[in-house]
């Protein structure tokens, strides 16, 4: 008897597959070991039931992936919820902008969640939200501690495969615990000495939400490599707020750095584009150029 399901995690050579009703412990057919096939959380697979009562099965086939994230390693993700704390630790907008580039490059829809809003003024929360909503990214103001924004998050996550991403200590596990009571995921403490979060999540696992859909609580990280395939002239594609001005630049190949008559730089000077976000773009552009030289 065969069934179709989704790999929720891999552990000690076994893969756990959710078929919509039950969780199956699956081993691999020998052909997969020969082919060195990779298996990721989120992979849709066909399994053959070996023992109905003990929920044992074997993976017979891996269905084609529609998306694949490299870090964190998850397949068939519909959207990435990028979590940024507005305080404790201080927001890392440089990492946020890098994550936005990576997620869009991977053909995954980004959703922004600004957590710990109870620790800053409403005006500051709204200011940050407006910068990114103006850039074209859906944004949610939240507080896991106060329960703010949870209904919006539940609606966004419903019936989708989503990944939580962001640096350590921003509250990813706390948000998941608030969204899905009973999970009791381990949450990290903020080191007073370093002002940075301690890593708490050790592996990627898809969690089935009672409201529908799956969410991955992923290892926190504070730096990320840009895709090697990313070219300097393509970077602007991942800045929707810049694109409308790019059409007005004198040169079609304008990188919006040193070129004359650049409409993007003019928009920054006039306050129509966020100056700090533009400066972070220049930093990422320089990284892409340097990366091109290396490869």
191-246 residue pLDDT tens: 344 344 444 444 678 988 988 899 876 554 445 778 889 999 999 999 999 999 99
Q: Residue 258 and residue 273: Cα distance in Å, rounded? A: 17
Q: Please, what is the average pLDDT of the chain?
A: 88
Q: What CATH number should be reported for the domain whose range is 232-294?
A: 1.10.40.50
**Residue 44 to residue 65: CA distance in whole angstroms:** 8
pLDDT for res 146 = 96
Residue 208 annotated in ligand binding: no
Mean pLDDT of 76-103: 94
DSSP 8-state secondary structure symbol assigned to residue 199: P
Residue bearing the bigger pLDDT, 186 or 156: 156
Asked if residue 12 belongs to a known ligand binding site, the reply is no
Q: Is 203 annotated as a binding residue?
A: no
Query: Is 283 known to sit in a ligand binding site?
Result: no
Is 158 annotated to bind a ligand? Reply is no
Give the residue-averaged pLDDT of 271-288: 97
Residue 10 is labelled as binding a ligand: no
Q: Is 212 known to sit in a ligand binding site?
A: no
68-217 and 232-294 share one CATH topology?
no
Structure confidence at residue 29 (pLDDT): 84
The annotation status of 262 as a binding-site residue, yes or no, is: yes
The answer to the question of whether 254 is labelled as a binding residue is yes
Average of per-residue pLDDT across 167-177: 88
Is pLDDT of 122 > 60? yes
Does the annotation flag 184 for ligand binding?
no
Residue 169 assigned as binding residue: yes
Max distance between CA atoms of the chain, in angstroms, equals: 71
For 237, other C-beta atoms within 10 Å of its C-beta total 14
| Residue 256 among known ligand-binding residues | yes
| Annotated binding residue 43 | no
pLDDT band, very low/low/confident/very high, at 73 (cuts 50, 70, 90): confident
Domain boundaries, given as residue ranges, for the chain: 2-62, 68-217, 232-294
CA distance 245 to 271: 13
pLDDT at residue 226, as a whole number: 86
Mean pLDDT (whole number) for 70-77: 81
Which is more confident, 157 or 11? 157
Question: CATH code for 2-62?
Answer: 2.40.50.140
Residue 68 has pLDDT above 90, yes or no: no
Class of domain 68-217 (CATH, top level): alpha beta
């Amino acid at each position: 008897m065969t069934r179709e399901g989704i790999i929720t995690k891999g552990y000690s050579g076994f893969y756990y597959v959710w078929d919509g009703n039950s969780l199956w412990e699956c081993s691999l057919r020998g052909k997969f070991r020969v082919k060195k096939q990779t298996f990721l959380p989120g992979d849709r697979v066909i399994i053959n039931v070996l023992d109905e009562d003990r929920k044992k099965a074997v993976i017979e086939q891996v269905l084609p992936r529609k998306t694949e994230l490299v870090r964190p390693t998850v397949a068939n993700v519909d959207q990435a919820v990028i979590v940024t704390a507005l305080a404790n630790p201080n927001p890392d907008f440089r990492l946020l902008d890098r994550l936005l580039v990576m997620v869009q490059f991977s053909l995954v829809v980004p959703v922004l969640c600004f957590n710990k809003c109870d620790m800053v003024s409403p005006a500051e929360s709204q200011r940050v939200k407006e910068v990114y909503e103006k850039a074209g990214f859906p944004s949610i103001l939240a507080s896991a501690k106060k329960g703010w924004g949870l209904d919006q998050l539940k609606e966004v996550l419903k019936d989708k495969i989503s990944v939580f991403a962001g640096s350590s200590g921003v509250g990813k596990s706390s948000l998941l615990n608030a969204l899905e009571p009973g999970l009791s995921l381990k949450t990290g403490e903020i080191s007073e000495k370093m002002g940075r979060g301690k890593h708490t999540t050790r592996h990627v696992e898809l969690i089935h939400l009672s409201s529908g859909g799956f969410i991955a609580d992923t290892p926190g990280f504070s730096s990320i490599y840009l895709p090697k395939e990313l070219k300097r002239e393509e970077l602007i594609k991942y800045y929707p707020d810049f694109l409308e001005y790019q059409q007005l630049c004198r040169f079609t190949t304008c990188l919006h750095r040193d070129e004359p008559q650049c409409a993007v730089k003019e928009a920054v000077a006039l306050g129509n584009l966020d100056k700090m976000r533009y400066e972070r773009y220049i930093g990422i552009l320089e990284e892409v150029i340097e990366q091109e030289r290396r490869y």
